[in-house]
Amino acid sequence: METSSVDSSAETLACENCQAVNSATQKFCSQCSFPIGGTKNEQIAFRSNIAVRTRMLKESERHVSICKKLLYFLAGINLLLGLYFGFAADDFPSMISSICVALLFLILTAWADRNPFGAILTAFIVYLTLNVVNIIDNPALLSRGIPSKIICTVLFVGGIRSARQVTLQREALEKLKAPGIGNR
């Protein structure tokens, strides 16, 4: 048999995972490293890796969205506090600072869609700073609202860890070119 009779379609193979066209002799896809020339088990392992990472991403995204609700809540509390200072207590400097803090939390919530890790970490630093400033201003506040402070801290720490996972899993899945991952 002449080598010239082997046409180009016989030499190429479309990747099952990302549809990239590869040479039929390649063991791994050049785009997504799917084991096109590998055994059935290797291909199953590759797919389950994508499935596991997708599940971890969804779980982490769920935790990040819980943390975003906390940021909305903190923004709301500060807005109400600002209105109270302004209209009930005639304390305009406190009104301005509370509304600024509320706006800051709202901006961080919007930023969390693009950079969940940076936004939630920054929000936690803002939250801690405000607490320290308040306690320096009025040491009696140290012992007040301890359960809510613990809940906020737990949600923030969990949110920061989950946000890191979102970034890592998104990067990994992008490399694996999981079909339809861009829609999530």
**Cβ burial 113-127 (10 Å sphere, 16+ → b, else e):** eeebbebbbbbbebb
Q: Which stretch binds Zn ion (CB under 5 A): 31-39, 76-84, 107-115, 161-169?
A: 31-39
Select from 3-11, 25-33, 143-151, 159-167 the region that touches Zn ion (CB under 5 A). Answer: 25-33
Q: Where are the alpha helices (DSSP H) in the chain?
A: 8-11, 40-83, 92-111, 116-137, 146-176
Q: Which is nearer to Zn ion, 22 or 169 (by Cβ)?
A: 22
The alpha carbon of 152 is separated from its chain's Cα centroid by a whole number of angstroms, namely 18
Out of 13, 20, 126, 130, the residue judged to bind Zn ion by CB under 5 A: 20
CB of 177 to Zn ion, least distance (A): 6
In this structure, the chain runs to a length of 184
Q: Which amino acid is at 9?
A: S
Binding flag, residue 18, Zn ion (CB under 5 A): yes
Write the single-letter amino acid at 87: F
- What part of residues 33-52 is at the interface with Zn ion (CB under 5 A)? 34
- The answer to whether residue 163 forms part of the interface with Zn ion (CB under 5 A) is no
Q: Which residues bind Zn ion (CB under 5 A)?
A: 15, 17-18, 20, 29, 31-32, 34
